[in-house]
Structure 1
Amino acid sequence: MFSRLSKSPWLIAIAISLLLLLWLLSGAIFRAQDNVEPDRPQAGGGLPRVEVQWLAAEPMQRRQVVQGQIEPWRRVELRAQVSASVQRLERDKGDRVEQGQLLLSLSPDDRPAQVARGEAEVRQRQSDVKAATRLRERNLISANELLRLQSELAKARAELDSARLQLRHTRILAPFAGVYDQRQVELGGFVQPGQSLLTLVDIDQLKVSAQIAQQQVTQLRLGQPVRVELLDGRSLSGELHFIAAAADPGSRSFRIEVRVANPESLRLAGASATLHIDTGETLAHRLSPALLSLDQAGRHGVKWVNQQQRVEFTPVQLLSVDNQGAWVSGLPSRVALITLGQGFVEPGQQVLTQLAAEGR
């Protein structure tokens, strides 16, 4: 063979080229094998990783916050009971009046004369009955005649009472102490029965009315202290004095009323206010509202990790929310709350946990 190669130099050149090519290829293959890392199993077998924070339940004061409307303790619209003209305006709007004080006078017209006529008629009928009674004792008149005279006396007395009532209705008196708030008539004006004359309000006490949800009404009881926050930042103290026995058919909410002392007679009736009602202490967790999520039923809840490193979803009740966070109830007393990655895991899924950094 070598003798042939020696006789054919071109064959020697080809053989050398093939050997050189094989040597180069073998070196590249060995380097590639050196650079390949051996297969290593992924940490956790491919389980998702989440950050958790341990939260413990704390005592907190449950409080219901609702918007309310401030109203006078009492408000009455006084109306005319007789046809007459306005004769005198005894008091002016804005005046404070006492119970029984004269506020407005209507013209008496012929009502005093009707009273005098009625009184005379009663005296005449009383005299007739008195005489007939003596005659009846001696059987000089029949029992039916005496009964007729007694009936006429009763009729005269009823007519007299009616005449006196008509005259009394010309004097409009304050049914309770309060403030003469509005007047709907002027001096000399003619009024008819049922026509509004004036409005009297009692603001020595105020009541703040509000509507509360049916889920929350069971936490209320009469006499509970209530803080009434006004729009200007001032606060008044009151107590819950009324809870409706039945819900409003339209809103399914219950009306409540809070009694508030107003010794300075502040003009607050008609304004809005915020009611803060303390309903007792309970254990709850304070967390960021951003950690709340909804399940398929639309319930608010949070995701956390149990001892088996599986994700749990627990519906919670939102007790209160402020700038610092939200108070919720319904979680275990101590819970590993998912603070990062909760949107990528589902209840029942196994995960790897990592404690969240402090201050996050």
Structure 2
Amino acid sequence: MLSQLSKRPWLIAIAIAVLLLIWLLSGSLFRAREEASADHPVAAPGLAKVEIQWLEASPMQRHLVVQGQIEAWRRVELRAQVSASVIRLDQDKGSRVAAGQRLLSLSADDRPAQVARGEADVRQRETDVNSARRLRERNLLSANELIRLENELAKARAELDSARLQLGHTQILAPFAGVYDDRRVELGDFVQPGQSLLTLVDVGQLKVSAQIAQQQVRALRLGQPVRVQLLDGRELQGELHFIAAAADPGSRSFRVEVKVANPDYLRLAGASATLQISTGEAMAHRLSPALLSLDEAGRQGVKWVNDEQRVEFTPVELLSVDNQGAWVGGLPPRVALITLGQGFVGPGQQVLAQPTEGGS
């Protein structure tokens, strides 16, 4: 064989060239594999792959979101104070009235006469007392007689005041500006003391009441701004006006009231609304609510990957939710959040983390 190759030297040259080419290709392939391994690690057998996205905490305005009930600022049911007949309906239901405006009139009957008799009796008693005092100054009248006359004058004045009060009760006046909301009597009805006549409501401003859990009430302060979102999407601005000093014994929650201006007298009283109470600024992460999960204890949290490529589960506080995402608190300032595959891995498990396409 060697003798044949010695006779053909060109075969030797070809063999050497082939061996050299194989050696060069093997080195390039090895380096390419090393570079590929550096850029895209190959998972060890049984090592789960997950996709991650790096999230940075950012400041956000914290809001406490609760459901509330819109109520009139004031509501009063006016009742009869005397026995009388309804003789005039001075205002129509649904009309706006000013404070002190007459709403309904009852029959006066003999009350004006009682007032007149009382006024005459008071004048007579005053004359008697004045004369008695002059006589007493000259020792022509005993002290006891003067005291008796003064007592009779005081009694006459009290009876006159009562008669005037009874006459005044025949005119039903608005105690405050508002809307004549309901009437329970008609013209000619005879009413008795204590009978309901009409309802007056003040809706120039509204109050929205809600119940706040005992662990959340600590963050509330009077005067905090509140956004009131109606069911039709409209929003009103208000402020926290009242916080109950004691919790409701049944629910262990605290009643709060939000004051909302209603200059256009919108018909909102009795409707429900969502309250967003601003409770200050906090550092939080914004993410998709779909990434939230529960651990074995039922706590709500998210899964992320630490520097050792192991899965961590951190319970979070849901600070705010809207159509675009959720704000959560409780995570490290910078976190590699698992965006794909979190349902197949558990805390402490080592994984191969790869960045989400288009993510950082």
Is the structural similarity TM-score above 0.5?
A: yes
Change (3 A) 1:172 1:345: same
Q: Flag the structure with larger Rg.
A: 1
Secondary structure of 1:130's counterpart equals helix
Secondary structure of 2:269's counterpart equals coil
**Once the 2 structures are TM-superposed, how far is the Cα of residue 359 of structure 1 from its aligned partner?**
4.7
| Cα contact 2:184–2:196 (8 A) shared by 1 | yes
**Once the 2 structures are TM-superposed, how far is the Cα of residue 46 of structure 1 from its aligned partner?**
5.6
What is the alpha-carbon distance in structure 2 between the residues aligned to residue 241 and residue 152 of structure 1? 51
Superposition map of 1:296-307 within 5 A: 296-307=296-307
| Cα contact 1:83–1:192 (8 A) shared by 2 | yes
**Once the 2 structures are TM-superposed, how far is the Cα of residue 357 of structure 1 from its aligned partner?**
2.9
Superposition map of 1:223-262 within 5 A: 223-262=223-262
Change (3 A) 1:114 1:203: same
Change (3 A) 1:43 1:108: closer
**Once the 2 structures are TM-superposed, how far is the Cα of residue 101 of structure 1 from its aligned partner?**
1.2
**Once the 2 structures are TM-superposed, how far is the Cα of residue 59 of structure 1 from its aligned partner?**
2.1
**Once the 2 structures are TM-superposed, how far is the Cα of residue 49 of structure 1 from its aligned partner?**
4.7
What is the alpha-carbon distance in structure 2 between the residues aligned to residue 181 and residue 105 of structure 1? 17
One-letter amino acid of the counterpart of residue 306, structure 2: N
**Once the 2 structures are TM-superposed, how far is the Cα of residue 222 of structure 1 from its aligned partner?**
2.2
What is the alpha-carbon distance in structure 2 between the residues aligned to residue 178 and residue 241 of structure 1? 20
What is the alpha-carbon distance in structure 1 between the residues aligned to residue 116 and residue 226 of structure 2? 57
**Once the 2 structures are TM-superposed, how far is the Cα of residue 229 of structure 1 from its aligned partner?**
2.2
**Once the 2 structures are TM-superposed, how far is the Cα of residue 317 of structure 1 from its aligned partner?**
0.4
Give the TM-score normalised by the residue count of structure 1: 0.81
Counterpart of 1:87 in structure 2 is: 87
What is the alpha-carbon distance in structure 2 between the residues aligned to residue 232 and residue 298 of structure 1? 34
1:152 aligns with 2:152: yes
**Once the 2 structures are TM-superposed, how far is the Cα of residue 224 of structure 1 from its aligned partner?**
2.3
Structure 2, unmatched stretches of 5+, are 1-41
| Cα contact 2:339–2:356 (8 A) shared by 1 | no
Secondary structure of 1:336's counterpart equals strand
Q: Which has the larger displacement, 132-141 or 181-190?
A: 132-141
Aligned-residue Cα RMSD (Å) equals 2.3
**Once the 2 structures are TM-superposed, how far is the Cα of residue 138 of structure 1 from its aligned partner?**
2.0
| Cα contact 1:309–1:353 (8 A) shared by 2 | yes
Secondary structure of 1:182's counterpart equals strand
Change (3 A) 1:214 1:359: farther
Give the total of aligned pairs.
318
Secondary structure of 1:77's counterpart equals strand
Counterpart of 1:355 in structure 2 is: 354
1:96 aligns with 2:96: yes
Secondary structure of 2:240's counterpart equals strand
**Once the 2 structures are TM-superposed, how far is the Cα of residue 226 of structure 1 from its aligned partner?**
2.3
Change (3 A) 1:206 1:157: same
Structure 1, unmatched stretches of 5+, are 1-41
